[in-house]
Amino acid sequence: MLKKERADFILNKLNELYPTTPVPLDHKDNYTLLVAVLLSAQCTDERVNKVTPELFELADNAHDMQHVPVEDIYKVIRPCGLAPKKSSAISKLSRILVDQYNGEVPENMANLEALPGVGHKTASVVMSQGFGQPAFPVDTHIHRLAQRWGLTKGKNVTHTERDLKKLFPKDSWNSLHLQIIFYGREFCSARGCDGRVCSICTTCYPNRKTPFIANKP
């Protein structure tokens, strides 16, 4: 199978399995989405969704959050890990949003990436899931699967993102990055598949004899 053939098969398979792609992080607007995505770094979506209701009871908008003591934010988000940095980032970005954007989340990658605690992946998720702009957020999960499926040889998420954007239609990016995550969790997890178990792996590489080891980002 050529790389393009693998990409076409994967896209069709994922569209069949996941015709709808609900956003895994609970939120009500772009501000709460931004905060939830920030919290999800090195943390499961499930844990974030357990923490954010209490956090958003304290404040669910930048105008109010800027006045919440960092210590109070920390107490709530502590289970998410990296809580000291994340609580400080939430406080600081809320202040910036109020000072520079009237409390609104900017619809611009560069402006998002300039916010405290917001990297390229977080900004891409907000652009994609919040604003509906074409973006292809790539985390270590997608990076690993893209290598396992022969879609990239990228040694980091930046390289992998660039390769996936070339392979797949732009209008598929926003749903596809979620579909890959859903499939990985259900069928092609690190423990559940070593490149020789799930239907995508076995179709793309029917003659693979040894476990596939991905390049770490």
Is residue 123 located within the same domain as residue 188? Answer: no
Per-residue pLDDT tens for 97-134?
999 999 999 999 999 999 999 999 999 999 999 999 99
pLDDT < 70: residue spans in the chain? 217
Q: How many residues does the chain have?
A: 217
pLDDT value for 52: 98
pLDDT value for 215: 80
* Domains held by the chain: number: 2
Question: Of the listed 3, 4, 139, 163, which one is catalytic?
Answer: 139
Q: Is 171 a catalytic residue?
A: no
What residues contact residue 40 under an 8 Å CB cut-off, 6+ apart? Answer: 25, 48, 80
Query: Does the residue 214 lie in any domain?
Result: no
CB 47 within 8 A of CB 81: no
* CA atoms of 197 and 205, how far apart (whole Å): 10
Is residue 115 located within the same domain as residue 163? Answer: no
pLDDT value for 216: 75
Is residue 121 located within the same domain as residue 152? Answer: no
* CA atoms of 3 and 152, how far apart (whole Å): 9
The CATH number that applies at residue 87 is 1.10.340.30
Is residue 44 located within the same domain as residue 107? Answer: yes
Range of the domain at 78: 30-130
pLDDT value for 190: 82
Whole-model pTM: value is 0.92
Q: Is 139 a catalytic residue?
A: yes
The CATH number that applies at residue 184 is 1.10.1670.10
Question: Of the listed 3, 26, 60, 121, which one is catalytic?
Answer: 121
* CA atoms of 17 and 20, how far apart (whole Å): 9
pLDDT value for 99: 98
